[in-house]
Amino acid sequence: MNKSKLMIAGVVLALAGALGYGIWQSRDRGLPDGLIQANGRLEGDSVLVATKYPGRLVEVRVREGDMVNSGQLLATLGSEEVSARLSAARAALAAAQAQQQRAAAAAAQADKDAARFADLLARGSVDRMHAEQMQLAAVSARTLREQARQQTHQAEAAVAEAGAVLQELQLKAPSGGMVSNRLREPGEVVAGGGAVLEIVDLNRLYLKVYVPENQSGKIRLGLPAQISTDAFPQHPFAATVSHIAARAEFTPKEVQTPDERVKLVYAVKLTLASNPDLRLTPGLPADAVIRWKDGVAWQAPRW
């Protein structure tokens, strides 16, 4: 009998201990009312560096992780067709310019002859027919001069067009940032519109987190948040709720939640206020605390 009582008492004590530990652990892991914790990976607004015209990639000057400035030359493509077109356009321009010079000289001489014959006609030294012929010759010469000028303009436009295409094959950074992806290698043929590099703006990073459905009603745009990373555990970064998904989705496999029974979550974007010294980069895992009730003191995430 005593033995049975001792066994029952032992079981009760064990259950009480387990219950007490569970309560203690729950309190230790939770955050006070007014704070919501979540986690995710840092992302950023990115831009693709693509070629407008097709060509063979000759050189890529940067690698993934390199910092670049706006306007910096990143890659060069070559096109034998465009190069040949430019050479032909330059040759045509040289010929047109020479023709224009000859036409201009001929028109100038024709104008002088017409003026001289007009003066002789006034003096009665030549007949009117010869004077009018010289006038017609001057008009014809001026017409040829204008045609030569137009041909020169057309040749200049062809040279400019081919040169512009070659310039477009020099791929430059549209903005400053970090090279996040090197999509092509030298020697590859890239079609028009094909991307070669991807650049992310480190000054516009955000953390995409998932908030359980039962807490989504507490989240609203503009709420303050703090983001923590393993790289800088003692330095939380200020952020703001900038986007809330309109529809719930199932919890992504890589996302942790305080309650594993939670199946539906809302995606929330937390935009960083700044990125001092560009210390944060896309892909870093991070934890976040969102404050939805004013006056609640900030606390570190607890997982």
**Residue for token pair 């703001």:** 240
Residue type, 228: S
What's the rounded mean pLDDT across residues 68-89?
92
Provide the terminal-to-terminal Cα distance of the chain, rounded to the nearest Å.
Answer: 45
Beta bridge partners of residue 226, listed in sequence order: 238, 289
Residues in the chain: 303
pLDDT higher than threshold 60 for residue 27:
no
Q: Dig out the tokens for 131 from the structure.
A: 């004077």
| Cβ atoms within 10 Å, residue 268 | 26
Q: Which of 12-16, 51-55, 82-86, 222-226 shows the highest mean pLDDT?
A: 222-226
Q: Does domain 48-78+170-197 have CATH number 2.40.170.20?
A: no
Residue type, 37: Q
pTM of the model: 0.63
- pLDDT band for 22, please (50, 70, 90 cuts): very low
94, 101, 86: which is closest to 149 by C-alpha?
101
- Pair 119, 56: CB distance under 8 Å: no
Is the CA virtual torsion 92, 98, 101, 106 positive or negative? negative
pLDDT higher than threshold 90 for residue 189:
yes
pLDDT higher than threshold 80 for residue 146:
yes
pLDDT higher than threshold 90 for residue 153:
yes
Q: Which of left, alpha, beta for 157 (phi over 0: left; psi -120 to 50: alpha)?
A: alpha
221-to-209, 212, 234 alpha-carbon distances in Å: 14, 16, 26
- Pair 50, 195: CB distance under 8 Å: yes
Separation of alpha carbons 3 and 26, rounded Å: 34
